[in-house]
A and B are shown apart, each in its own frame.
Chain A
Amino acid sequence: MKRERSTDKAQIIFPSAGLWRRQFRLAWATGLFLVLLSGVAVGEENRPPPSEEASAVGVGAASDDPWEKMNRGIFTFNEVSDVYVLVPVAKAWRWATPHLLHVAVRNVNGLILMPTTLINNVLQFNGEHVMEDIGRIMVNVSFGLAGLIDVATMMGIPANDESFDQTLGYWGAPPGPYLVLPLFGPSSVRGGIGRLGDGAGTFYFTWLPIWATFLVRGVDIISWRSDHIEDIDLTRRESLDYYIFQRDAYMQLSQARVDVARGVAVPEPVDDADLYFFDDGYEEDLNEEEGAGSGAKEEERGQ
């Protein structure tokens, strides 16, 4: 699903590349269809301003969810898959895997995904990060014994993490509507396309048979999930609406990552003014209060 890119050369040498290529085309066709469907690529400026109700929600981008019904359906499917398949497997993994092996797996997976980050840093013209990424790959492949040991981090080389979604945003593409992908979870139209683009970063997966690709990716997912069983369970349990939680957090984060790529040192929350100064008489109350110099109680305020 994720490693769709194949080169013609890989085609010739490795028969299984053909399948990837077909999937790649299919995936791109789907992506294009979605873009057309949403009209984001062409009609961003022409879209109507957010309604009163939408701006009451505060975050314009996140409340823009025309496919909510479909998204919630896929969300439910993903939740069920997570709870009944991924989490039990992740628990088994945690139980069965010695800590050192777990760390080694994490390190190797970090290295495997590194070219994706490198390519995106090139596309974002971030010279400093590019050097860091190249350094990291070289050090960890050699001294780190093919990625088993994260020597680069010990040497103080930061582990960058960039995506094609971010790169597209850097180039000015809007995220488009929120989109929940089956199994892959929260995304947007741009995020979905970005995901396909990121597949190019692990082009060498096309040299492997498909089962090996699934194995490597599967182990990565399981090992990652095993690190976050309690965190995610807690969030899921305590959220008032976990779907909305994910949607809002995803859209905000995606925007923040674009801000970072553009050199905004500290990303701002979306819709700043409205978020922090909602006009409900609060300002007047505040002034009154300060003028009176007394601790007005909640029930005495705002009629």
Chain B
Amino acid sequence: MASKNRLVGLRPLLPVLLFTLAGAGLALAQAEGGADSAAAGPRAVVQDTVDRVLAVLDEPGLAEDQRRSRIEALAFSVFDFETVSRLVMARNWKKLDQDQRVVFVQEFKQYLSRNYGRRLERYEKAQVEVLGTRSEPRRDVSVLTRVVGGQYDGITMNYRLRERKSSWKVIDVVIEGVSMLANFRAQFAEVVSRDGVEGLLEAMRTRNMAPDPAD
């Protein structure tokens, strides 16, 4: 495994890092626009996404918040937030009533976009190489990619896509074998079991409304 983080002593922290990368990955996946994705296959969706995000990042003279909102817009169009919301909540989905479900999807959308829009600015130097696709159970398709250049050169990043309403949308990002969906599911389940569904919604709301610290 050709990870560039050569840290025997620090290896436990590697996941944190990789997950950070999910940011880049997601954001890259996000770049897929809504308009022409309808007919595009999963590979084209990811490729197009990557190109668009890189274009936004490369565009000179773009204000920081403009950049963010464009990337968020790309995120909104490439993810199937409803499916991801259900999968991420799993059993707990049933604990949400109708109104809570609407709120959940809304907050989760915001949470993801915010979470990863912030990171993206840090990955300007990276390129992404689409390596191929792999069929998954029940008609899902994974698009396999690798980061080229930058700090995380060589990291594998796979996007899992599912077709709904005849367009392919991302439902998971798997970085070096770490599924973002699984990770969120574990966290959400913990918060629900501790603070209930209202507690979870509140926690997401708090994150979403927090101002950006100047760092």
Genuine A/B complex: yes
> What residues make up the interface of A, taking CB atoms closer than 8 Å to B?
2, 53, 56-59, 62-63, 109-110, 113-114, 116-117, 158-163, 165, 181, 184-187, 191, 198, 201-202, 217, 220-221, 224-225, 227-235, 237-241, 244-250, 252-253, 255-257, 259-261, 266-278, 280, 282, 286, 289-290, 295, 298-299, 302
- Cα–Cα distance between A191 and B204 once the two chains are bound (Å): 32
Q: How far in angstroms is the closest Cβ of chain B from A155?
A: 14
> B182's contact among A59, A230, A239, by CB below 8 Å, is which?
A59
Q: How far in angstroms is the closest Cβ of chain B from A191?
A: 7
Contact with A along B170-194 (1 / 0, CB 8 A): 0110101111011101111111010
- In the complex, the answer to whether B215 meets A224 with C-beta atoms within 8 Å is no
Contacts of B91 in A (CB 8 A): 56, 278, 280
- Cα–Cα distance between A159 and B140 once the two chains are bound (Å): 33
> A282's contact among B18, B86, B118, B119, by CB below 8 Å, is which?
B86
Which of B87, B142, B158, B210 is packed against the most chain A CB atoms within 10 Å? B87
- Provided the pairs A113-B6, A161-B5, A240-B191 are in contact, do residues A234 and B90 lie with their beta carbons within 8 angstroms? no
- In the complex, the answer to whether B138 meets A277 with C-beta atoms within 8 Å is yes
Main SS at interface, chain A: helix
Q: How far in angstroms is the closest Cβ of chain B from A186?
A: 4
> B17's contact among A198, A231, A255, A259, by CB below 8 Å, is which?
A231
- In the complex, the answer to whether B215 meets A233 with C-beta atoms within 8 Å is yes
- In the complex, the answer to whether B115 meets A59 with C-beta atoms within 8 Å is no
- Provided the pairs A186-B15, A299-B101 are in contact, do residues A253 and B186 lie with their beta carbons within 8 angstroms? no
Q: Which residue of A lies closest to B86 (CB)?
A: A282
The yes or no answer to B14 lying at the interface (CB within 8 A) is yes
- In the complex, the answer to whether A160 meets B1 with C-beta atoms within 8 Å is yes
Task: A113-B8, A241-B187, A278-B86 are known; give 17 further A-B pairs, CB within 8 A.
Answer: A58-B182, A59-B182, A63-B186, A110-B6, A220-B9, A237-B210, A245-B186, A246-B16, A256-B177, A257-B1, A259-B177, A260-B177, A266-B142, A269-B178, A272-B137, A280-B93, A290-B164
- Provided the pairs A220-B7, A240-B191, A244-B190 are in contact, do residues A252 and B102 lie with their beta carbons within 8 angstroms? no
Main SS at interface, chain B: helix
Give the 3 A-B residue pairs with the shortest CB-CB distance, closest first. Answer: A256-B177, A267-B177, A249-B15
- Cα–Cα distance between A231 and B13 once the two chains are bound (Å): 11
Contacts of A274 in B (CB 8 A): 90
- Provided the pairs A161-B1, A198-B8, A240-B203 are in contact, do residues A231 and B16 lie with their beta carbons within 8 angstroms? yes
- In the complex, the answer to whether A221 meets B10 with C-beta atoms within 8 Å is yes
- In the complex, the answer to whether A266 meets B144 with C-beta atoms within 8 Å is yes
- In the complex, the answer to whether A252 meets B177 with C-beta atoms within 8 Å is yes
Contacts of B187 in A (CB 8 A): 239-241, 244-245, 248
The yes or no answer to B92 lying at the interface (CB within 8 A) is yes
Q: Which residue of B lies closest to A229 (CB)?
A: B215
- In the complex, the answer to whether A248 meets B186 with C-beta atoms within 8 Å is yes
- Cα–Cα distance between A265 and B144 once the two chains are bound (Å): 11
Contacts of B99 in A (CB 8 A): 299
Contacts of A269 in B (CB 8 A): 172, 174, 177-179, 181-182
> What residues make up the interface of B, taking CB atoms closer than 8 Å to A?
1-20, 23, 82-83, 86-87, 90-94, 98-99, 101-102, 105, 111, 114-115, 118-119, 122, 134, 136-138, 140, 142, 144, 151, 154, 156, 158, 160, 164-165, 171-172, 174, 176-179, 181-183, 185-191, 193, 200, 203-204, 207, 210, 213, 215
- Cα–Cα distance between A201 and B9 once the two chains are bound (Å): 12
- Cα–Cα distance between A300 and B158 once the two chains are bound (Å): 32
> A275's contact among B12, B94, B181, B191, by CB below 8 Å, is which?
B181
- Cα–Cα distance between A238 and B118 once the two chains are bound (Å): 10
> B178's contact among A57, A252, A282, by CB below 8 Å, is which?
A252
Which of A57, A232, A299 is packed against the most chain B CB atoms within 10 Å? A57
- In the complex, the answer to whether A257 meets B182 with C-beta atoms within 8 Å is no
> A240's contact among B20, B105, B181, B204, by CB below 8 Å, is which?
B204
Contacts of A270 in B (CB 8 A): 179, 182
Q: Which residue of B lies closest to A110 (CB)?
A: B6
Contacts of B176 in A (CB 8 A): 253, 256, 267
- In the complex, the answer to whether B136 meets A276 with C-beta atoms within 8 Å is yes
Q: How far in angstroms is the closest Cβ of chain B from A138?
A: 17
- In the complex, the answer to whether B171 meets A162 with C-beta atoms within 8 Å is no
- Cα–Cα distance between A160 and B3 once the two chains are bound (Å): 6
- Cα–Cα distance between A158 and B2 once the two chains are bound (Å): 6
Q: How far in angstroms is the closest Cβ of chain A from B138?
A: 6
- In the complex, the answer to whether B2 meets A161 with C-beta atoms within 8 Å is yes
